Amino acid sequence: AICKGFLEAYFNMTCDHDPTCQRYRMPAGITGMDLYNLYQTVHKEERLEQSQFYQIMSSNFPHVSFSKSQKCTKCTDCSNFKQLIDKEKNLEKRKELMTIRYLHLQQQQNERESYYVRRAQAEMRPHHALSLIIDGMDQRKTDLPHYKAWNNPNGAGSKKLRTHIMGSIVHGRNKHFFVDYNQYPHNTNMSLTILLNILINEAKYHRLPPVLYIQLDNTNKNKYFLGFLGYLVKRQFVKEVWLSFLIVGHTHEDIDQAFSKISHKLNEESHKDQNSIALHLDTVWNISEWLGDSICQVHNVTFPHLYRIFSDQTGHVTVQFKEFSTDVTWRPAWDEPPLEIFKLDERSQQIIPKGLPSIVEPKMDEDDWLEVKRSMEKDFELAAVSELDEVEWREFLENPFKKSEEPVCPLHLLQTYQEVESYSTLSEKENNLIMNYKKRAQAKQVSFNDPEPFGMKN
């Protein structure tokens, strides 16, 4: 019973759930022998033979997988721990390193559960908060046109239209998917455009709840994302924003499960155009250029995993941060100089961008596009494409950037956030949720060398 409890706690703390199947994957490089040695260290008085330990693990946890390498972005700390453990010959020192690695994995689980807490709060009190996660899908799975049971027979076109899907879950509300065909750079402007589209769609009568929770991957840690969120607060479209990130290499989340459903749908059905799998992203706004002259420079933006953007007592939009969600204190503290998001004018007033963002001009590689067109001509002959589908494809291939009218940035559609009555007491469900999180947060932490502090400069 002790061994089973140890394994259950360890797997719950460290495994990544693969949303594409009912499997739980251990971080790359951790072996069954590593777990056995850790168990022997933690439970010295309850020793087991190695064969007994493996039998308990295999019979009770058949859904857990071990792997030597990692499919997605690797966690630097996990890789470093693995190298140190592999090189260390002294058994006791190896056990110490394994214990430290366990605490690192415990930290990544704390970050994950912090996200779950915010997500649950938004689901339980939708008038108070809106929570969403945004991420991109593996591009190898979404080439178009896609034909069910199509094996590229002799003579078929081999060049498909490469597409890119960005998806979002607005917790307790909706799912949103956007597809482009690589006519725009996949950068912060695209992410911010998608965020803006989602907020417009989710705003009830053009009004959002006062609190916005956003979960992102680590590629969007930059001054432009913080600046745009600061603009939302400055214009009072929301009262405050919490921007959070999981630890690099530990980012499997609920959005991946939504992407897996798209993959299954592609395998089960034919899809011959972009709009059959997601909403076509036909416009991207140059928000970074629009913000550029107004926002402060950011230093060491990659270290924090949680940001809070809000207006201080002077009405200036500022940002606080925590390296990890379980940290007790926000930085800078209330008695320290604030971190301004926007630059200040000669009257010490924040400089806010004027007007609206311009359009990012779409671009395609001409040789690549010509190859797609040639390939599609072969598909028209061999893939039994309907007459209507063929007409639509030909129109698209001749003018991929066609728009019915000149788009206008929808920022002007948002209005002041909806004030809500404060709650004097928490529900039983909320209290239980917070209590469980606090128990996790009380776990021992490992202290590494402190990085240079995050900050902003004019």
For the segment 212-230, what is each residue's pLDDT rounded down to a tens digit? 999 998 778 899 999 999 9
| Residue in this structure with the two tokens 């061999």, named with its chain if needed | 382
Give the pLDDT band (50/70/90) at residue 340.
very high
Contacts of 28 (CB under 8 A, 6+ apart): 67, 68, 69, 70, 74, 78, 79, 82
Contacts of 333 (CB under 8 A, 6+ apart): none
> Largest Cα–Cα distance of the chain, in whole Å?
75
> What is this structure's pTM?
0.77
- Relative to beta strand 306-311, strand 174-180 is unpaired
CA distance 175 to 126: 15
For residues 259-284, average pLDDT: 69
Amino acid, res. 128: H
Burial class for 22, CB neighbours closer than 10 Å (0-12, 13-18, 19+): exposed
Give the pLDDT band (50/70/90) at residue 444.
very low
Per-residue pLDDT tens for 19-57?
555 667 776 667 888 788 878 877 777 778 888 988 998
Is 211 a residue whose pLDDT tops 70? yes
- Which of 105 and 260 is assigned the larger pLDDT? 105
Sign of CA dihedral 81, 83, 85, 90: negative
Of 8-17, 33-42, 158-167, 340-349, which range is least confident? 8-17
**β-bridge mates for residue 108, sequence order:** none
Question: What is the rounded radius of gyration, in angstroms, for the C-alpha atoms of the chain?
Answer: 25
